[in-house]
Chain A
Amino acid sequence: MSLVLKNVVKRVGSETHIYDTSVELHDEGFNILLGTTLSGKTSLIQLMAGLERPTSGEIWFKGKNVTGVPVQKRNVSMVHQQFINYPNFSVFDNIASPLRVVNLSRSAIDERVGRVAEMLKLTPMLGRNPNELSGGQQQRTALARALVKDSDLVLLDEPLANLDYKLREELRDDLPKLFADRGCMVVYATSEPAEALSLGGHTAALHNGQLTQYGETPSVYRQPTSLRSAKVFSDPPINSAPVTKKDGRIHLNDQVSWDATPAQMHIADGQYNIAVRAHHITPTPPSGASVKVSGRILVTELSGSESVAHFVMDDQTWISQSHGVHANKVGAVAQYYIDIDRCLFFDLDNKRIAA
């Protein structure tokens, strides 16, 4: 059982929403589509559901070509970012609707709806109308409708994006439990790297309608194959800058350079781009090798136990993220340490080179 996209392209008018994409999604756990708005997450989900037909290419599911099969015959479930429920149905009827369509017996419907409602803590609301519920309850109703039928493929299109912070955390913890041992594939679109990391599974990084990388979530995070993937999978944005390697030293600019670490020794001399995540640039030196830089602070943000500072060095803005509260004045010159062991090296085509 697997979902395979073969050279799928989706064009609408003169715009290309999805460029030539081939990928075989993993059967177990979550498949996460990670990308910003307009990166093609929703387009891909609609193609996978069968709501849209690809302009060219094929979609295979469970070893069958389902490219032209309409969504009604595909046995999929879907939850949208907006809270979509049938406003004229009660919560019970909303959840029961996919079962009514296939003419399940009344007792079977009651039993299954009851079970799903219990799981999603909706039992007291079953008699109410969806628009009388809070946002979280509305989205749980939509989730319940997706869970109530034994679909082969569950598509979740940023289901938590319109919820407030607390509800989001709560539902995010529940989601993997809800889908555990259901034997269905789950595709989950999100724009937040943190959400992808906490859900685990496999991640497909998307950028402007192009799939930049697909693999296990932690490995896509730690070993991005291209600068694009690294950028998609970073929040705050990843720092990147050109460097030159010469005679065993790596030069970031006239003042900043360091001796290549053992891993970086293997890289041939030449010009590269490096990328450093914000939390690998800190105001205090990390435990391993590091290089000291200084810059004028542009913006500082405090979020509870974390400090984020944007500073300028060489006409370029760098972002530092660190634990603890580091109160730095805007405009002051401050010193930061770049963890050079964590620098990712990319060639000038922005393909990653092992280091």
Chain B
Amino acid sequence: MKKFTWLVPTIYILFLMLPIYWLLNMSFKTTNEILGVFTLWPQEFTFENYIAIFTDSTWYNGYINSVTYVVINTVISVSAALPAAYAFSRYRFLGDKHLFFWLLTNRMAPPAVFALPFFQLYSAANLFDTPLAVALAHGLFNIPLAVWILEGFMSGVPKELDETAYVDGYSFPRFFVKIFMPTIAAGIGVTAFFCFMFSWVELLLAKTLTSVAAKPIAAIMTRTASTSGYELGLLAAAGALTIIPGAIVIYFVRNHIAKGFALGRV
């Protein structure tokens, strides 16, 4: 029996990796090969698809747009959530628990609900088709999430730490930046990661609030056919590249991510 303990994890990982392998497999094939024959690995190995993406501005601009609004959103979400989470973790005020729960309910409505009002409002504010519009719209679900994750980490820090710093003569802003933020650095990292992730994968709002100038990569990828027919190889290559930013970010927080989940806040 003991001999086969490797079996289940292996099968699990196999199934997990299969679609990703298939994506990579396709990305190195020509479209003709994808459509013509069934092959387990590329018969005519080609970088054409990747070269096409990196040379065609409509493709690589999609990545630039996506990364731009995702980074803006992450910065906005974390910096807005830091003081909010601190207040929730340290102060008692009228209705604090209800307000905290209400934040969570913001995540319960599908973004589609907000697509139309956002479209009109951002158009009226002349923000339509800018990365900032998408970044702000994604704050809808990312800021509550950030507040929830950060509050968990902050409540893990004893309030005596705050008191000690005040006794030592630190003013509140100096304490917050010099002592408190480094103390919960892991939490800030995990929060930033989740904001990044959720903003990166969101499609509907990003697509609705942009047309040409700020079009995100995910929206470009939904364009399956072009004037030159089906470009499945190209799409596969774009998909493979879309995985990379998430993989890079997760590498930095790999040691802390479990704690974010363990807090039950994600």
Interface flag for A8 (CB, 8 Å): no
- Given A72-B170, A72-B171, A84:B179 Cβ within 8 A: no
Most buried by A among B168, B171, B182, B185: B168
Residue B183 contacts which of A70, A82, A86, A145 (CB distance < 8 angstroms)? A86
Binds A, one of B12-20, B49-57, B156-164, B196-204: B156-164
Interface flag for A44 (CB, 8 Å): no
Minimum Cβ distance to chain B for residue A163 (Å): 16
Contact A72 B161 (CB under 8 A): no
Q: Given the complex, which residues of B lie within 8 Å of A98, measured CB to CB?
A: 168-169
Binds B, one of A73-81, A241-249, A275-283: A73-81
Minimum Cβ distance to chain B for residue A93 (Å): 10
Would you call the interface of chain B mostly helix, strand, loop, or mixed? helix
Contact with B along A75-118 (1 / 0, CB 8 A): 01110101010111100000001100110000000000000000
Contact B166 A97 (CB under 8 A): no
CA distance A88 to B177 in the complex (A): 12
Residue B164 contacts which of A70, A78, A101, A149 (CB distance < 8 angstroms)? A78
By beta carbon, the residue of chain B nearest A146 is B167
Residues of B within 8 A of A (CB): 158, 160-161, 163-171, 174, 179, 182-183, 185
Interface flag for A120 (CB, 8 Å): no
Contact B160 A80 (CB under 8 A): yes
- Given A87-B183, A88-B183, A101:B167 Cβ within 8 A: no
Interface flag for A51 (CB, 8 Å): yes
Q: Given the complex, which residues of B lie within 8 Å of A70, measured CB to CB?
A: 166
Contact A101 B158 (CB under 8 A): no
Q: Given the complex, which residues of A lie within 8 Å of B163, measured CB to CB?
A: 46, 49, 51, 71, 78, 80
Q: Given the complex, which residues of B lie within 8 Å of A84, measured CB to CB?
A: 158, 160-161, 164
By beta carbon, the residue of chain B nearest A49 is B167
Q: Given the complex, which residues of A lie within 8 Å of B169, measured CB to CB?
A: 72, 98, 101-102
By beta carbon, the residue of chain B nearest A71 is B166
CA distance A46 to B182 in the complex (A): 26
By beta carbon, the residue of chain B nearest A157 is B160
CA distance A77 to B165 in the complex (A): 10
By beta carbon, the residue of chain A nearest B164 is A84
Minimum Cβ distance to chain A for residue B259 (Å): 15
CA distance A84 to B175 in the complex (A): 14
Residue A101 contacts which of B160, B170, B183 (CB distance < 8 angstroms)? B170
- CB-CB nearest 10 A-B residue pairs: A88-B182, A101-B169, A98-B168, A78-B167, A80-B160, A84-B160, A71-B166, A84-B164, A72-B169, A86-B179
Q: Given the complex, which residues of A lie within 8 Å of B174, measured CB to CB?
A: 101
24 contacts between A and B (CB under 8 A): A49-B163, A49-B167, A51-B163, A51-B167, A70-B166, A72-B169, A72-B171, A78-B163, A78-B164, A78-B167, A80-B163, A80-B164, A84-B164, A86-B165, A86-B183, A87-B182, A88-B179, A88-B182, A88-B183, A97-B168, A101-B174, A142-B164, A145-B164, A149-B168
Contact A86 B166 (CB under 8 A): no
CA distance A86 to B174 in the complex (A): 13
Q: Which of A126-171 contact B (CB under 8 A)?
A: 142, 145, 149
